Amino acid sequence: MDVHVTGSDLRGTARAPPSKSYTHRALLAAGYSDGATVESPLISADTRATGRAVAAFGGAVAPAAEAGDSAAASADDDPAGPDLADADALSVEGFGGRPGVPDDVIDCANSGTTMRLVTAAAALADGTTVLTGDDSLRSRPQGPLLDALGGLGARAESTRSNGQAPLVVAGPLAGGEVAIPGDVSSQYVTALLMAGAVTDEGIEVTLTTDLKSAPYVDITLELLADFGVETTPIDDAGDPLDGAAGAAGFSVPGGQTYAPSGGTYAVPGDFSSISYLLGAGAVAAAPGEAVRIEGARPSAQGDAAIVEVVEEMGAPVDWDREAGEIAVERADLTGVTVDVGDTPDLLPTIAALGAVADGDTRIENCEHVRYKETDRVSAMAEELEKLGAEATEEQDALTIHGDQSDLKGATVDGRGDHRIVMALSVAALAAEGTTTVRGAEHVDVSFPGFFDAMADLGMDVERDGADE
């Protein structure tokens, strides 16, 4: 699907979708349990993949209203399929901490989070699991996680011996001590912690490099605590820490049981998705009016840093944390320097804002952002240049030269990446004329209603190949 976005004045209220990061973890945590209800989940292409994996391991996922029928659900029935689209809550029948051997290959589609979290879960099964995904996912690095699982006694291999999917994993994994780098993907750590809690021995994780994206591990620690699972970040001396930042490793005792209080877990709103709504308001809110965003309650999400970034760039922002509502007004933005080591998903949004701002916007510590659905550093530089922006790309930094940028409508490619599509759509609001964004259907990965929400705010957007 292509969308055509023309500069528009925005006003009104939009609601942030539920967090994709929390939904992935909550579905798998409920799978590890004897059963739980996940309230306010994000139903998207990625989270459906995690739901299918839970079913493949012997669990089941169904709308909570149909909980009585969920026992009949199976992977073949695709219980995490389109029928969940309008579900306000999901009833998850778990596999009690021990995944069964799947009847078929687990297809993780385009979801890197699914593949990494599920790969560790597969190592618990007493048998062999095969995992694959689409072209993009089969190009993403999994080697450090495979090495870690192998070091813990599981069989964990890439069929092409290149550290990429398809993967073959065989257990059962008992637990133990393992070392893993912290600067490739925090999801490796999350996967080991979630699986380690139900091993016999537990898992002691030592980081061989500094941890990047630490707030994503904080999300994991917060969610595990809500499911009654104990995990401890530790420093170089082996002393406990309050959070993942600065951790030299993690300890998770074995033999634990996943069980949320009252059998229910509620997913918070997603700040990665809020970043596009916030950015759109900062560049295109109608004069004298504000764009309001609901569902912005505080949580462990590091991407809440976008609020401070937009404020630093000069846009008036009012965040009522208790009500979970943000109001943002349009302003003449000024370039800033931002370290995205802990917040990689914010790079596309910040780059788009930099193309509108005066002066340079420099995004640092971003090499790991090259290993997402696409190389987001190069993708944003190249696609913004099509709109008339000037950018300088380095291996670990991206600078957008706002003073040298003059945005005009053009045809840009979303690169099969939901975040690139949404960020380019924000930039298009500030471009002269109409911008065509190709591959816009990929917003379904994390924000299925993105263009509906933007149209409700006043975005002039036309869609090809989709019902209006």
Known binding-site residues for 3-phosphoshikimate equal 20-21, 25, 185-187, 213, 345, 372
Active-site annotation holder among 345, 413, 417, 444: 345
Q: Which residues pair with 325 in a beta bridge?
A: 294, 320
| CB of 104 closer than 8 Å to CB of 110 | no
Binding-site residues for phosphoenolpyruvate, please?
20, 112, 140, 187, 376, 419
The residue among 77, 74, 19 whose CA lies nearest residue 46 is 19
Can you tell me which residue has the tokens 């995904």? 133
Q: Which residues pair with 179 in a beta bridge?
A: 206
Which amino acid type is present at position 269?
G
Binding-site residues, please?
20-21, 25, 112, 140, 185-187, 213, 345, 372, 376, 419
Residues composing the chain: 468
Residue 345 bears catalytic tag: yes
What are the DSSP E strand ranges found in 253-364? Answer: 264-266, 290-294, 317-320, 325-329, 337-339, 360-364
How many Å apart are CA 265 and CA 30, to the nearest integer?
9
Cα dihedral across residues 354, 363, 367, 111: positive or negative: negative
Angle of the 418-429 helix axis to the 347-356 helix axis, nearest 10: 20
How many Å apart are CA 340 and CA 276, to the nearest integer?
16
3-state secondary structure of 151: helix
User: How many CA atoms lie within 13 Å of 87's alpha carbon, on the beta-carbon side?
Assistant: 27
The residue among 443, 459, 353 whose CA lies nearest residue 407 is 353
DSSP for 406-461 reads: --B--EEE-TT-HHHHHHHHHHHHTSBSEEEEETGGGGGGT-TTHHHHHHHHT-EE
What are the DSSP E strand ranges found in 347-394? Answer: 360-364, 391-394
Burial label for 443, CB within 10 Å (0-12, 13-18, 19+), is buried
Q: Please state, as a whole number, how many other Cβ atoms lie within 10 Å of the Cβ of residue 434.
A: 17
Instruction: Calculate Rg over the CA atoms of the chain.
Output: 21
Q: Please state, as a whole number, how many other Cβ atoms lie within 10 Å of the Cβ of residue 392.
A: 12
Q: Which residues form the catalytic set?
A: 345
